[in-house]
Amino acid sequence: MLPDQLVFAMEVTLNGLMAGVMYALVALGFVLIFKASGIFNYAQGVLALFAALTLVGLQNGQIPFAHLINAAFGTDLHSFGWTLPAALAIALTALVMVGLAWAIERLILKHLVNQEPIILFMATIGLAYFLEGLGDVMWGADIKTLDVGLPQGISEGIEAVTAEWFGYGFFIDRLDIVATLVAAALVAALTLFSQYTKYGRALRAVADDHQAALSVGISLRFVWVLVWSIAGFVALIAGIMWGAKSGVQFSLSLIALKALPVLMLGGFTSIPGAIVGGLIIGMGEKLFEFFAGPLIGGATENWFAYVLALLFLVFRPQGLFGERIIERV
């Protein structure tokens, strides 16, 4: 039998890793856009929120802009009166995200070609607030439950097995296990896509040098719509996972902030970095809370990730997997 403290720590570690997967899912969206366009997309968290809102709305047959329409025309509309199957609702939401990507390119990016990164960054801040407002007006500000048939509750299988091994059953959320599997599949798919397809190669080319990409016949617009669509899709998945875990609410957009230390750890340009960074942050903050929390009064999860990121900025500014920054003189 292992000592209790160690067994608890193992459970905490596992839970931390799984929480880290959730952070990684958001960070992944950031990395994709940063790699392809050098834009730090502040709106990634809001994209996840918007995707989750749209998914719930479509699934429950909610009429978009119902409040606005009712207020303007004195009607009393609320619902189309249908409930779509989860798979169909997800597919439709994915289409909406592609449309959104197209609109973002058309209305924002197209006009900001060759601008300083800080200007594009500001544009994404604007986009974030706009989308948050749009989501509110379209689907309402109430907290919604998202049910796409993902397993909920504690995994009894793991509890039973660990109880047999350690004499203590681990509490692992089933949803976290699904999220882990989905994230793994997503990373594998994205890596294969970017390494082995012509679109992936075009994407990497645009990320590297716009002029050179143009000169071999790559359309920047197409690539940007593609990459924002993929980021929208990743946001949708993150939105589903977070929504299923804690309900679809506007604080969801704040998870984007936790993705920031994840990116500093993993490097802004590395897909594996986003995953490993997420895992380290998730695990780190849970373990730190477990061991050091009681000594210094708890609530360390609020700041631990940021302090860790700060340390990384001092000692390894490019992150674990980021490209080394070499300045030639």
* Of residues 43 and 202, the one with the C-beta less far from other proteins: 202
CB of 37 to other proteins, least distance (A): 15
CB of 70 to other proteins, least distance (A): 41
Do the Cβ atoms of 255 and 48 come closer than 8 Å? Answer: yes
CB of 326 to other proteins, least distance (A): 9
* Of residues 218 and 283, the one with the C-beta less far from other proteins: 218
Q: How far apart, in whole angstroms, are the C-alpha atoms of residue 20 and residue 255?
A: 12
> How many Cα atoms are found within 13 Å in the side-chain-facing hemisphere of 93?
32
Q: How far apart, in whole angstroms, are the C-alpha atoms of residue 263 and residue 24?
A: 9
CB of 94 to other proteins, least distance (A): 14
* Of residues 192 and 299, the one with the C-beta less far from other proteins: 192
Q: Residues for the chain: how many in total?
A: 329
Nearest Cα neighbor of 139 from 213, 202, 49, 222 is 49
* Of residues 225 and 283, the one with the C-beta less far from other proteins: 225
The tokens of 45 are what? 């968290």
* Of residues 221 and 316, the one with the C-beta less far from other proteins: 221
Other CB atoms closer than 10 Å to residue 195's CB: what's the count? 10
Q: Which residues bind other proteins (CB under 8 A)?
A: 192-193, 196-199, 201-202, 204-205, 207-209, 211-220, 323
Do the Cβ atoms of 107 and 99 come closer than 8 Å? Answer: no
CB of 215 to other proteins, least distance (A): 5
* Of residues 215 and 329, the one with the C-beta less far from other proteins: 215
Q: How far apart, in whole angstroms, are the C-alpha atoms of residue 271 and residue 318?
A: 14
CB of 92 to other proteins, least distance (A): 18
Nearest Cα neighbor of 80 from 71, 69, 90, 94 is 69
Q: How far apart, in whole angstroms, are the C-alpha atoms of residue 60 and residue 78?
A: 10
Considering only CA atoms, give the Rg of the chain.
21
